[in-house]
Chains A and B, each alone.
Chain A
Amino acid sequence: MRLSELQTGQKGYITRVYGSGAFRKRLLEMGFVRGQEVRSILNAPLKDPIKYEIMEYEVSLRRGEAVMIEVSMLKSDVPENDLPREEWATRQLSDEGKTNMEHNGLFVAGKSPSPEKKIKVAMVGNPNSGKTSIFNLASGAHERVGNYSGVTVSSKEGHLKHDGYLFTLVDLPGTYSLSAYTPEELFVRKELVTGNPDVIINVVSASALERNLYLTTELIDLQVPMVIALNMYDELEQSGRTFDHETFSDLINTPIVPTVGKRGEGIPRLLEEVIAVHEANGQERVQIPYGRVLEKSIERMERELKGSIGTTWDMPPRYICSKLLEGDREMEKRVASLSGGKQILARRDKERAYIEKLLREDPESAFTNARYGFIAGGLKETLTEKTHRDDNTRILDAILTNKYVGFPLFFLFLWIMFEATFQLGNYPMEWIEASVAYLGNLVRGGMAEGPLKDLIVDGVIGGVGGVIVFLPNIVILYLFISFMEDSGYMARAAFIMDKVMHKIGLHGKSFIPLIMGFGCNVPAIMSTRTIESRSSRMITMFIVPFMSCSARLPVYILFVSAFVPSHGSLVLLGLYVLGILIAAFTAFAFRKTLFKEEETPFVMELPPYRMPTAKSVIIHMWDRSRQYLQKMGGPILVASIVIWFLGYFPYNGDREAAFDREMATVESKYDNNEISAGEREVTLAGITHERNTQHQANSYIGRLGRFIEPVMRPLGFDWKISVSLLSGMAAKEIVISTMGVLYTGDSEDQQSLQERLIAETHPDGSPVFTPLVVAGFLLFVLIYFPCIATIVAIKEESHSWKWALFSLFYSTGLAWLVAFLVYQVGNLL
């Protein structure tokens, strides 16, 4: 029977994995190997995908992918060949086995310790094993971590000093193996081989030990000086298990240090072990025993290879041979370029046929089985069974991914997030607003009239002050996003949304960049590089900009609090959901037209729920606040001053003198008792308003605005809105700072930007911001590209300006069309 046929709660034993290429390889590496027990846990709300438990971790598979795995309800049905897994286990720990391993052992030469006492350490490990947590704690960096896979997409460096050594830590993306199937696997392998690290810290999650150790077996084959960080050790202890890591360490001859990355426990010892390995100038290392058949093939391949590669290759011949036999394409390419390449590959083909004939399975499966056999053997006597089963994840999943309440709960959480962002954020927002107004009035009252006063009041306080008031909202939004990411709920969101993603031609892996896009679109676009299929990657890249990034939030809040304060959170939620719908429409349309290639299958690990630590949440919020404040003092301040200059100049002396004369006339009329005090006030305010309007309309920015106004007029936008949207191409917050500078309001009293926008009228006295203009404006901001940096990121990831410009024109064109329809159709109704 097939895995997809297992009923919820049933278990089976894997007998065979069908399929080919990257998907099959990924399944094998994730533990879907012959004889392995697998249990069906639950279905997603839309019946697809299904959550399975294997090797003590949980994984999501679509029905269409689960069909590729053949299982049997009886363990005795599992065919055995060469050396059964249990036998591996017994043999390995027997005296004979140990002697064999020692006999097979070899000395891995390390680099000589440098006299400057510098160590370059590369950190590798499975996705979500906690590498970045250890990296951050060790180096003092604040790199993003999350309780789901694929948060790190490129290497990052940090530095620290310990015991007189200067460490350079390189945090590499998480990978399940060193195969050359996915970009991150290839990237990690290249970094390990050509990056020339002195020692490797292999971060192994103690909560899914068996699966995590698979990568360790590959690193042993690669013969790199290594220390294992047994991370999340507290979770292993809490489950009531004991792991004799010292015995296991002796078995593989590699130091193992238990660590708890989130609390920093064990990190000093880990660094000391790294120094010890570095100073030992090499390690005695075991060889993974692959069994009689595979070992014979490796031996014959090694003989064939020896003459050709010489000493120039940066990998051990045994590793090259095993990878060649597994069908590693990258290795094939390298070998094909050798002088005797053809001969070696011909031998390889013969050996693959030999393996298939004798073991009755393909070499890929044979090697994976052997590696997992080695691990099972090592763990059999060192790792005890669980005595305490933590059912929290199971209970929470039963509720949060339930077919009836899963989706309502998801939307309820989103609504609570926006309600808190909008309503709760209103209080501190009002305090900051009052402080900005106080400061503005202080300068107005305390400074003599002149351009500097105007620059400070209208340019700096009007511009920067208009944006800074939204800091609390940003902090609250990030509090929620951080909590959802660190707790593991984001991965569940991807799980329940997978079927919807499938319908629009994308897979669950695209969901992670989309979620990241709510924070900032630039890293979200970068994270699309983990998607194997080019067509899916391109589509994801194009739809990420429709995810409302945190820079758009201040614009939404400004307009929502000014024009629809009573339904603020619902409008916010609506905008976010609409962004998702537009993304879905775009993905669907592109899949049907531009990128017709079939989508690739997706295997997603579902991490256990973890309570985020207050420290990590606070650090995340602090980082965002710092970034936001830095933006205030940098690009937004510069943009506000530039907009003010463009709005202030050129200075027309004749026009100003004419207005001065007009005002003087009013004053003299008042002095001669020709008009009352009230009439004087009204007339002077009218003249001042007219003066400001004329001044702005004839300024450089006014001319620019009037130049683009014909394009934006059909949307109901005047030149000030058009200029604000244009300046928002640099960053969305600049839309607000520009409005803060352009909508000057009452010259005697500092008003909030909301009040100034509400008070803004056309020359005929009608309001500028009608409901249709507000709706069109919000939709325009939602749909048009978030910033130039996003377009550059698309160019870098797609390696083409063509696609970057396509994204720019597509999103802007769509924004224009939607705002046009809203305004024109709305006016007809």
Chain B
Amino acid sequence: MDIQFFIVILIGIAVGAILLRGLYRFFFDKKKSPYCGSCTLCTAPPVSPDKKGIKVL
């Protein structure tokens, strides 16, 4: 099989898996934020404790 085609298929499988995981998390998983997929890409605050790094003061 063409090596480029083989790599493209592998990428397709990986992206498909990421997409399915995202969809599963969106609909079924317990989320930090009930509003979305908890991707942290907007400023919506999470509901459960935010596991940010612990700062030593």
CA gap between A159 and B49 in the complex, in Å: 9
Q: Is the CB of A452 within 8 A of B44?
A: no
Q: Mark A152-181, 1 if CB is under 8 A from B, else 0.
A: 011011111110001010000000000000
Closest to B48 in A: A157
Q: Mark B15-57, 1 if CB is under 8 A from A, else 0.
A: 1001100100000000000111101111111110110111111
Could you tell me the distance in whole angstroms from the C-beta of A790 to the nearest C-beta in chain B? 9
Closest to A551 in B: B42
Q: Is the CB of A154 within 8 A of B57?
A: no
Could you tell me the distance in whole angstroms from the C-beta of B45 to the nearest C-beta in chain A? 5
Give the total of A residues in contact with B, Cβ under 8 Å: 45
Q: Is the CB of A522 within 8 A of B55?
A: no
Q: Is the CB of B57 within 8 A of A138?
A: yes
Could you tell me the distance in whole angstroms from the C-beta of B48 to the nearest C-beta in chain A? 8
CA gap between A168 and B37 in the complex, in Å: 25
Could you tell me the distance in whole angstroms from the C-beta of A652 to the nearest C-beta in chain B? 15
Q: Is the CB of A634 within 8 A of B36?
A: no
Interfacial residues of chain A within 580-622, with CB under 8 A of chain B in the complex: none
CA gap between A631 and B15 in the complex, in Å: 15
- Could you say which of A16-24, A638-646, A746-754, A775-783 contacts chain B? A638-646
Q: Mark A701-712, 1 if CB is under 8 A from B, else 0.
A: 000000000000
Could you tell me the distance in whole angstroms from the C-beta of B38 to the nearest C-beta in chain A? 10
Interface residue? A630 (CB, 8 A): yes
Q: Which residues of A are found within 8 Å of B55, using beta-carbon distances?
A: 138-140, 159-161
CA gap between A455 and B7 in the complex, in Å: 10
- Cβ contact of B12, chosen from A453, A519, A645, cutoff 8 A: A645
Q: Which residues of A are found within 8 Å of B47, using beta-carbon distances?
A: 154
CA gap between A642 and B49 in the complex, in Å: 33
Q: Which of B7, B46, B55 has the most CB of A within 10 A?
A: B55
Given known contacts A161-B55, A453-B4, is B43 in contact with A523 (CB within 8 Å)? yes
CA gap between A755 and B12 in the complex, in Å: 29
CA gap between A160 and B57 in the complex, in Å: 7
Interface residue? A635 (CB, 8 A): yes
Q: Is the CB of B54 within 8 A of A159?
A: yes
Q: Is the CB of A634 within 8 A of B41?
A: yes
Given known contacts A452-B7, A453-B4, is B12 in contact with A158 (CB within 8 Å)? no
Q: Is the CB of A271 within 8 A of B57?
A: yes
- Cβ contact of B35, chosen from A139, A144, A451, A793, cutoff 8 A: A793
Q: Is the CB of B39 within 8 A of A144?
A: no
Interface residue? A792 (CB, 8 A): yes
Interfacial residues of chain A within 520-545, with CB under 8 A of chain B in the complex: 520, 522-523, 526
Interfacial residues of chain A within 621-663, with CB under 8 A of chain B in the complex: 627, 630-631, 634-635, 638, 641-642, 645
Q: Mark A451-470, 1 if CB is under 8 A from B, else 0.
A: 11101000000000000000
CA gap between A739 and B47 in the complex, in Å: 35
Q: Is the CB of A520 within 8 A of B57?
A: no
Closest to B15 in A: A641
Interface residue? A9 (CB, 8 A): no
Q: Which residues of A are found within 8 Å of B52, using beta-carbon distances?
A: 139-141, 158-159
Given known contacts A641-B11, A642-B19, is B54 in contact with A161 (CB within 8 Å)? yes
Interchain residue pairs with CB less than 8 A apart (12): A140-B53, A154-B45, A154-B47, A158-B50, A161-B54, A450-B2, A452-B5, A520-B43, A522-B36, A641-B11, A645-B12, A789-B37
3 tightest Cβ-Cβ pairs between the two chains A and B: A450-B4, A140-B55, A452-B4
Residues of B within 8 A of A (CB): 2-5, 7-8, 11-12, 15, 18-19, 22, 34-37, 39-47, 49-50, 52-57
